[in-house]
Structure 1
Amino acid sequence: MKKIAVHLADGFEEIEAISIIDVLRRAGFQVTVVSMNEKMDVAGSHEITVKADALFEDLDYDNIDMIVLPGGMPGAAKLKAHSGLREEILNFYDMNKPLAAICAAPMVFGNLGLLKEKRATCYPGFEEELHGAIITGEAVEQTENIITGKGAGVAIKFALKIVELFNGKEVADELAVKMIEN
């Protein structure tokens, strides 16, 4: 079973976070919701509070298969500013382990130089943060092991792309049909 860590900082986009967590759990992945705060409760940008499964400093990243970053502001900016998270993302990139970010959060990868000459997408207005990326404006993009998504309206499609990465298109399509996504 693949283990995926979804990282939440105060100000995250609730639709993105919850949709991603839900779809990945439906697909049978072990999803750990990670608080980037010093407490388990994380407040979304629309005042919905989510209780995390783990604090960032307590998570063993050696046992994680993928890092996922929901967007929303100021949540994505807080993810970008977190030095420990940046270090883990760089480790994952160096080990060719999958990374995914949606909405404003692809700026975390962009600021680390991970998107240079790679197709990527993000919420309109954050393109300049994706340093050196080939900005497509598509709903979801995957280049190698990096998946980026445009925003809340494509959160399910984004999560299904993660399912496809690990389990194949047929499994992702079957799940989409069960959820009446297509």
Structure 2
Amino acid sequence: MMKVAVLLAEGFETLEGLTVVDIMRRAGVCCHTFGTKSQKVRTSHDVVVEADKLLSDEVLEYDMIVLPGGMPGSVNLRDDEKVNEVVMAFYNNNKLVAAICAGPITLGKLKISEGKNVTCYPGFQDQLGNCNYKEELVVVDGNVITGRGPAAAIPFAFELLKHIAPDKVEDLQKAMLFK
């Protein structure tokens, strides 16, 4: 079974991080949260979450990595050398790399978004380098999946699920009254 890792840095956007976890777990997908500095992580809206694990090389055994947005969470992810190392390893090994809202600024720093179709929260596109910016809720380009912002959390999570467990999407969308 494919496994999803959601990275939680201090100040992450609650909806964007936890919606992915919720939808993956409802679908029966192995999905763990990894705190970047501590297992107790405070969201951008002052919700304290306990991550399943602390970020380590164990994350490299996963098939998809997800970077939620939020401030200062996105900056904390971008400026964390371990996060950068892990994201590059996923990208270079053609594993799925997903980021939403301001989360794609890590992709910009690492030049992963160069030449790619991507989206992000309006105002952060200047940190994505020479990309093909799209004003869409969710954009897929190869092994890179990006989402626009909090309102895109559910469509983004379902797009991720399509790449991990496509056979689960339709039934779960119906069960959640998404379609």
Q: 1:120 corresponds to which residue?
A: 118
| 1:39-61 per-position Cα deviation (integer Å, ceiling 9, x unaligned) | 2110001100100111113x513
TM norm structure 1: 0.94
Task: Give SS of 2:158's match.
Answer: helix
In the aligned structure 1, how far is the partner of 2:169 from the partner of 2:120? 22
Asked if the contact 2:60/2:90 (under 8 Å) is kept, the reply is no
Q: Are positions 1:65 and 2:63 aligned together?
A: yes
Aligned equivalents of 1:67 and 1:179: distance in 2?
A: 24
Which residue is equivalent to 1:172? Answer: 169
1:174 CA displacement = 2.4
User: What's the Cα RMSD here?
Assistant: 1.1
Q: 2:88 aligned with 1:74, yes or no?
A: no
Structure 1 distance, partners of 2:60, 2:77, is 20
Give SS of 1:4's match.
Answer: strand
Whether the 8 Å CA contact 2:29–2:165 is kept in 1: the answer is: no
Identity %: 38
AA paired with 2:163?
L
The runs of 5 or more residues in structure 1 that have no matched partner are none
Matched residues in 2 for 1:164 and 1:120: separation? 18
Matched residue type, 2:133: I
Query: Structure 2 stretches of 5 or more lacking a match?
Result: none
**For residues 128 and 61 of structure 1, what CA distance do their matches in structure 2 show?**
29
Letter in 2 for 1:123: Y
| Cα distance in structure 2, aligned partners of 1:179 and 1:56 | 31
Whole-angstrom CA distance in 2 between matches of 1:106 and 1:135: 11
